[in-house]
Amino acid sequence: MTVDLPLLPRPLILDGGLATELEARGFDLKHKLWSARLLLEDPGALSDVHLAYLRAGAGCIISASYQASVDGFMALGLSEAEALALLDLSLQLGRDAITRYSEECRPAVRPLLAASVGPYGACLADGSEYRGHYHLDQAGLYRFHRQRFLRLAAGGADFLACETIPCIDEALALNRLIAETASPAWISFSCRDDAHLSSGESIEQAARALAGNAWLFALGVNCTAPGHITALIDRLRSAWSRRIVVYPNSGEQYCAATGRWQGTRSPLEFAAAASTWWQHGADIIGGCCRTGPAHVAALRRALA
Q: In terms of C-beta density within 10 A (0-12 exposed, 13-18 middle, 19 or more buried), how is residue 92 classed? A: middle
Alpha-carbon distance 246 to 284, whole Å?
Answer: 6
- List CB contacts of 276: < 8 A, sequence separation 6 or more: 230
Residue type, 276: T
Nearest by Cα to 190 from 145, 229, 160: 229
Reported as type and span, the H/E element at residue 255 is strand 253-255
Alpha-carbon distance 90 to 118, whole Å?
Answer: 13
Nearest by Cα to 50 from 36, 37, 60, 35: 60
Alpha-carbon distance 255 to 141, whole Å?
Answer: 30
Alpha-carbon distance 290 to 56, whole Å?
Answer: 16
* 3-class secondary structure, 209: helix
CB distance 57 to 73 below 8 Å: no
- Confirm whether residue 255 is marked as ligand binding: no
**Could you write out the DSSP letters of every residue in 145-160?**
HHHHHHHHHTTT-SEE
Alpha-carbon distance 218 to 249, whole Å?
Answer: 19
- Confirm whether residue 289 is marked as ligand binding: yes
- Confirm whether residue 223 is marked as ligand binding: yes
Binding residues for Zn(2+): 223, 288-289
Binding-site residue positions: 223, 288-289
